[in-house]
Structure 1
Amino acid sequence: MKRLLLISLLLLSGCSSEPASPKGDHGNADKPKVALIMKSLANEFFSTMVKGAETYQAENPDQFELVVNGIKDERDLGRQVALVEEMIASNVDAIVIAPADSKALVPVLRRAKKAGIVVVNIDNRLDTEVLAAEGVEIPFVGPDNKAGAKQVGAYLASKLKQGDGVCILEGVLTSFNGQQRFAGFAEAMQDAGIKVIDHQTAEWEMSKANTIASSMLSEHPETKAVLAANDSMALGAVAAVKAAGRSGEVLIVGFDNISAVQQAIRDGKILATADQHGDQLAVFGIEKALQLLQDPQAVVEDVETPVDLITQESLTK
């Protein structure tokens, strides 16, 4: 009987679990878990960001764990909100997010912060008015999209004549980065005395940009250039210009510096783009998150990251 009692006690001891972590303790403090939540991973720009983050984690395996999530369609706001909720439930230490919408993601990110999770905003800045209304501070780590677009626009303007007409393909209208890129393009055109004869959203999508650019070229045959708020739309414009038989006549610029556009620039199909160093952008956000985890009392400040003009000349240097 004593032997049976001893075996029973040993079995009970072996089946016991660790005590649950107290509220606010998000796991191993020596190795925090960072969730990277992206927009569409079908877009090369965001897949490049993920590869950069994974490479950084592999080079620093003792510093943090990385969990990567993304949505299939950049307009699927509901799924991105659900991903944040899943990460809250998973008890991650930090969320680094490229929000698909500047306003819609703020409430769920406020809940994440209330749960004790560090939140860092990358790529597309969250709306400052909505953040203030929700009473939450979230640092933005990313480039000045307006300045980057203005650089690209000014370079394009140097290849045009005063009075020429251009069209602009905008991103998702509720995305701050899309708004800022449109503003930068428009300001560069105004400064150069060039007319914006049409502008429409193609919602970051190549196929939609192809359709809209085709319509623009048909309706406005005087178009001398198309300015696209991202490189996927620029590639859509390239196809539209080719289909219209106007390759070499209509100049095209983009924004993001994805590899396909680098080749198109070398081939003379696209004039220029802006490089916001996508391979490092998520890394910059992760570094900010780790800093805030180490010092929870640190002042929440934005971090401006570089953005550079990319042309045929710069690619051949």
Structure 2
Amino acid sequence: MNVRRIGGVLAAALALTVTAACGSSDSAGSGGGDGGGDGKYTIGIVKFASSDQTSEQAIKGFRDYAEKQGWETSAVDPQGAVDKANGSMQDYVQKGVDLIVTAVFDSTTLTAGAQAAKAAGIPVVSISGGTTDGITANLDAGVSNGEPVAKQLVEDLGGKGEVLVLGYKSGLPCIGREQALDDALKSTDITTTRNEVPIPGQVEASTQFAQAWLAKHPAGSEPLAVWGCFDDPALGAIAALKSAGRDDVKVYGINGQPGAISAIKDGDMRATVYLLATEAGENFAKLVPEFVEGGVDAEPQEVALTNVLVTTDTIDDFLTKYPNSTK
């Protein structure tokens, strides 16, 4: 597959009211449903889950820009359920939107929705779900966002010790990030214990996983760390550490959510990767005319998502440059 990198960034949107079985929905803007013939578009956004702060930020950036252009957007929240996401896409096909945007779901699991859209001539693009037949553009929030934290973790542990890995195999970004961690650990003496976190309920489950893991890894036994494929599991692990009175375990996350940035400032988290999600969403929205005009047979595109590694060493400089990152 020929893949074209686009410097810039990400993001997302998707449309119209759906049945209660497909989750809650909301709409904004005004516009057409006429293929953008008058310069206006109707865009359907299939979210991943409203609890996923990073994709929500990207969608907000996208919708804010779209509204300024007079485009109509609406979004549905399938709450992490693949069947509801496919159903929502099919509902948008029936409504005749100009573009469908999905978020986080692995695009290969959205075959039913993608093929229905392709048959109707409606292009589909993804926020971090990858490209596949019927889904022509993707924001890469996976491997490239996992590499900086993985490198920092290996350096901090000195190439030895034990890591609790809190992963999520149903989301393509997490799959890529965990691959980056696995690659970084190959030449080390670091061993891992892995748990699959659920969504929703990721914070609470991660707290429980960390509690069980801490009981088997007493303080002073070896270098210890917790790695979350996004910030929520890392924050759940921090709750377990505080409850146990432990300060010997380094914690790493990805996404740069406000809670994670605050945790780094407080010294509770060692590092995260801050994703410029809102800016990415806006930049992605600027590509809507290209997506619509390119149609369902457009050359696949990979859109790079800018990120910044934030650590306890760099937090003060980071907050000076990004003062709103904790809001």
TM-score band, normalised by shorter chain: 0.7 to 0.9
Partner residue of 2:192 out of 174, 197, 201: 197
Q: Structure 2: how far apart are the matches of 1:43 and 1:182? A: 18
Q: How do 1:184-263 residues align onto structure 2 when only pairs under 5 Å count?
A: 184-191=180-187, 193-203=188-198, 205-221=202-218, 222=221, 224-246=224-246, 248-263=247-262
Q: Please state how far the C-alpha of 1:92 moved relative to its aligned partner.
A: 0.5
* Pair member with larger Rg: 1
Q: Please state how far the C-alpha of 1:295 moved relative to its aligned partner.
A: 4.3
TM-score by length of 1: 0.80
Kept in 1, the 8 Å contact 2:105–2:171? The answer is: yes
Partner residue of 1:61 out of 69, 74, 97: 69
Judged with a 3 Å threshold, the aligned counterparts in structure 2 of structure 1 residues 270 and 194 are, in CA distance, closer, same or farther, namely: farther
Q: Structure 1: how far apart are the matches of 2:158 and 2:303? A: 37
Q: Structure 1: how far apart are the matches of 2:108 and 2:264? A: 34
Q: Please state how far the C-alpha of 1:25 moved relative to its aligned partner.
A: 4.9
Judged with a 3 Å threshold, the aligned counterparts in structure 2 of structure 1 residues 30 and 147 are, in CA distance, closer, same or farther, namely: closer
Q: Structure 2: how far apart are the matches of 1:42 and 1:298? A: 32
Partner residue of 1:112 out of 85, 102, 117: 117
Judged with a 3 Å threshold, the aligned counterparts in structure 2 of structure 1 residues 29 and 99 are, in CA distance, closer, same or farther, namely: farther
TM-score by length of 2: 0.78
**Other structure's SS at 1:103 match:** helix
Q: Which residue number in structure 1 is paired with residue 165 of structure 2?
A: 168
Query: Among the aligned pairs, what percent are the same residue?
Result: 22
Q: Does 1:272 align with 2:256?
A: no
**Other structure's SS at 1:86 match:** helix
Q: Structure 2: how far apart are the matches of 1:212 and 1:42? A: 20
Partner residue of 2:77 out of 43, 47, 70: 70
Q: Please state how far the C-alpha of 1:67 moved relative to its aligned partner.
A: 1.6
* 1:101-134 alpha-carbon deviations (Å, 9 max, x no partner): 44321221121121111111112325xxxx3xxx
Partner residue of 2:178 out of 164, 179, 182: 182
Match for 1:141: what amino acid? N
Q: Structure 2: how far apart are the matches of 1:290 and 1:141? A: 16
Q: Which has the higher contact order (CA 8 A, sep 6+)?
A: 2
Structure 1: unaligned runs, 5 residues or longer: 1-23
Partner residue of 2:44 out of 35, 42, 48: 35
Q: Structure 1: how far apart are the matches of 2:234 and 2:241? A: 10
**Other structure's SS at 1:117 match:** coil
